[in-house]
Amino acid sequence: MNAPDRFFLADVQASADQRQLAIHKVGVKGLRYPLALLDADGKVQHTVAQVAMSVGLPPEVKGTHMSRFVEILEQRRAPLNVSRLLRLFEDMLLRLDASSGEIELAFPYFISKAAPVSTVESLLDYDVRMIVAKRAGQAAEVTLEVVAPVTSLCPCSKEISEYGAHNQRSHITIIARLRSGMTPDELVRLAEEEASCEIFGLLKRPDEKWVTERAYDHPKFVEDLVRDIALRLMNEPRIAQWTVKSENFESIHNHSAYAEINGDNA
């Protein structure tokens, strides 16, 4: 064996495949990776994401280059926003010679909130998902998803009770396919503004009085929540398609109330 041949390693996954079956998605998932994000004010926030990256594989190719997915992440450590995520995605398609693919990032996102009376600040966490995907022959699409915990107070309970009304924690999910850039903060704020009351990480007694009375003054059924948010999403020019869901974890039942609306902004 010649000396150079000792260092030659066969690239089996680049060999031809005889089964002639295209693969729609092949890549890596379940990868935990540090992530820096730009928030609505241009500040950098650090978190840890669950990452899935995949490409479409032509029928004649045996396998993709799995190591390149991680290499692409390693080479782009700058804080991400929608436009930078798109550039990362285009890098992936180029490096893997692919015409279709997808990147999904799921992570906790923290927003600093000031309590309504004491103004004491605390962080509140939100579940966020960012997805960029492209099918062969089509443009790349970015989807932003947020889950915002809020308070909802039952209008029926308020109407029939001599005093008080039952309320519950609600999870509002907004899924938006974007025409142009938005941040998680903006979708979270939209959800919170339409709730009976937003929630906070830290409240003093005057704050607790305020949020209790705020919810009492703004009762909403689960149907009210999704309809009011849908009206806001319908008038947002940066959004092409959207879904709004609300799950109310009932305080007087052992089940949830749920509602969902989907829409297109032509």
Q: Which helix (H) or strand (E) holds 217?
A: helix 205-217
- CA neighbours within 13 Å on the CB side: how many for 34? 9
Provide φ and ψ at 18, rounded to 5°: -90, -10
Query: Which residues are 37's β-sheet partners?
Result: 45, 80
* Spatial distance between the Cα atoms of 147 and 170, rounded to a whole number of angstroms: 10
Q: Which helix (H) or strand (E) holds 44?
A: strand 44-57
Residue 112 has which token pair? 């600093």
Q: Quick one: pLDDT at residue 189? A: 96
* Spatial distance between the Cα atoms of 96 and 56, rounded to a whole number of angstroms: 10
* Spatial distance between the Cα atoms of 51 and 16, rounded to a whole number of angstroms: 29
Residues 6+ apart with CB under 8 A from 50: 30, 31, 32, 105, 106, 107
The pTM of this model reads: 0.90
Q: Quick one: pLDDT at residue 210? A: 97
Residue 168 has which token pair? 């519950």
Per-residue pLDDT of the chain (266 residues; tens, 9 = 90+): 455 566 666 666 666 778 889 999 999 999 999 999 988 788 899 999 999 999 999 888 888 889 999 999 998 778 988 889 999 999 999 999 999 999 999 999 999 999 999 999 999 999 999 999 999 889 999 999 999 999 999 999 999 999 989 999 999 999 999 999 899 999 999 999 999 999 999 999 999 999 999 999 999 999 999 999 999 999 999 999 999 999 999 989 999 999 999 999 98
Helix, strand or coil for residue 234? helix
Q: Domains, the chain, ranges and CATH?
A: 20-264 (3.10.270.10)
Angle between helices 82-95 and 67-75 (to 10 degrees): 140
